[in-house]
Structures are given as structure tokens and as C-alpha cells.
Chains A and B, each alone.
Chain A
Amino acid sequence: DAGVIQSPRHEVTEMGQEVTLRCKPISGHNSLFWYRQTMMRGLELLIYFNNNVPIDDSGMPEDRFSAKMPNASFSTLKIQPSEPRDSAVYFCASSPREEGEGTQYFGPGTRLLVL
């Protein structure tokens, strides 16, 4: 199995631009998580989906952030407009039903820099 796939791996953009991060979870996994990691705030859960339905989005910073999961094999995290404080590494993780949501398989992350 290829594992969780994230794209792009690196993104540099200017303030005010729209940024879209993509994630392909492991086939057969029913839960998907988006995290943000920074030195200052550590690892933060932004949102998670179960069977393609958003369950908890309380970690989404503000209306500039949105996430979708149109089908079981694809999810996006969009930031519009982006700001310098959004610079971070964004991780996607997926979890199989039979192992519970604590067992998560992480992607390699997208390193975002907003200038």
C-alpha cells in the first residue's frame, strides 16, 4: 500500500492567495483527519471526517479555512485568503474502522509558507 498521499509536499505563496492542499487516504480507511503543526502551537487537529461526513470541525481556525471530502478517496483543505500566520506543516491522516480512531496513519505532510 502506498500509504496516505499528500500534495503538494511544499507550497510557497503570497498573502491573499488561495491555497488548496490535497489528501488521498489509505484505501478502505473510513476516518480522515487534518492537522496543523507549528513550533509555537504544536500539533492541532483541524477537522475530521467519518465516512466522508465532517464530524468535528471545532479546530478550524476561522472561516478562511474549509475542508471537503467528496468521496472516500479524496479530501481537500482550502485556505482563502491565506495569511503569513497560516505557515505551518499540514498533515493528513486516515484510520481504519477496525482499529479505532486512535490508530492513525499519517501522510508526509505539506509544508506551507505564506509570504
Chain B
Amino acid sequence: AQSVTQLDSHVSVSEGTPVLLRCNYSSSYSPSLFWYVQHPNKGLQLLLKYTSAATLVKGINGFEAEFKKSETSFHLTKPSAHMSDAAEYFCVVGSSASKIIFGSGTRLSIRP
């Protein structure tokens, strides 16, 4: 069985400050992990994915995530937030033996 938990439903940061969106997972298999972003009134877009290669994964728009097996975490970070980063972010877990599970989402707000 597998599951994914996004620890914060809403995160608010000031423009130019770091972003941290937290995600914990549970999987009986070697997981694949993903982050998706959804801007208002848009479909979801893949930000980055981990598939058992390098544990630090770089994605689009300056985001990156680090796979930590010991902590069963896959947190999303960005060094400096931009107003255009305001969106909903979804952490996703999957494996070859089980279906894809989407987290409940974290809404990121950016203060000017």
C-alpha cells in the first residue's frame, strides 16, 4: 500500500524569501515521486519527478526536491519566491506495482 501526506494545506511567504512545501509518503515498493503545480483555472503541470536516480531533483521554474528515504519525505523547495509561484502544489507517489496517489494539495500564497 502507499499513501502521501502534504503537511500544510496553505503556505504564505514573502516575495524573495525561500519556499518549503512539505510532503511525506508511504510505500511498500521503491516509489516514484512527483510534484505538480496548478495555477488558478488551469490544469496540473509536472514540476519535477524522482525515479530512483539522483536524490536531489531539479525541476522547472527554479524548484527542486530532495528524496530522503530515512525520513520518507520529498519536500519541495525554491530559494527565492516569485509572485508567479502563487498556485496549488500537489505531491504524488506511485510505483510500478501500484496506482498513482495524489496528495491533498498545498496552496502557496506570495506576499508582495
Q: Which residues of chain A have a CB within 8 Å of any CB of chain B?
A: 4, 42-43, 45, 56, 91, 93, 100-109
**List of B residues within 8 angstroms of A101 by Cβ:** 94, 99-100
Pick from A42, A43, A100, A108: contact of B94, CB below 8 A: A100
Contact string, B90-112, partner A, CB cutoff 8 A, digits 1/0? 10101010011010110000000
Pick from B43, B94, B100, B104: contact of A109, CB below 8 A: B43
10 closest Cβ pairs, A-B complex? A106-B43, A102-B94, A106-B44, A102-B32, A108-B43, A102-B34, A43-B102, A42-B104, A102-B100, A107-B43
Considering the chains assembled together, what is the distance between the CA atoms of A104 and B104 in angstroms?
17
* Chain B positions 8-45 with a Cβ under 8 Å from a chain A Cβ: 32, 34, 42-45
Contact-size category for B: 10 to 19
**List of A residues within 8 angstroms of B49 by Cβ:** 102-103
Contact string, B34-77, partner A, CB cutoff 8 A, digits 1/0? 10000000111110010100000000000000000000000000
Q: How far is the CB of B7 from chain A (nearest CB, A)?
A: 15
**List of A residues within 8 angstroms of B100 by Cβ:** 45, 101-102, 104
Contact call A56/B99, Cβ cutoff below 8 A: yes
Q: Which residues of chain B have a CB within 8 Å of any CB of chain A?
A: 32, 34, 42-46, 49, 51, 90, 92, 94, 96, 99-100, 102, 104-105
**Interface CB pairs A-B, < 8 A, 26:** A42-B104, A43-B90, A43-B102, A43-B105, A45-B100, A93-B43, A93-B44, A100-B51, A100-B94, A100-B96, A101-B99, A102-B32, A102-B34, A102-B49, A102-B100, A103-B34, A103-B46, A104-B46, A104-B100, A105-B46, A106-B43, A106-B44, A107-B43, A108-B42, A108-B43, A109-B42
Residue of B nearest to A6 (CB): B43
Residue of A nearest to B94 (CB): A102
Q: How far is the CB of A98 from chain B (nearest CB, A)?
A: 12
**List of B residues within 8 angstroms of A109 by Cβ:** 42-43
Considering the chains assembled together, what is the distance between the CA atoms of A29 and B54 in angstroms?
26
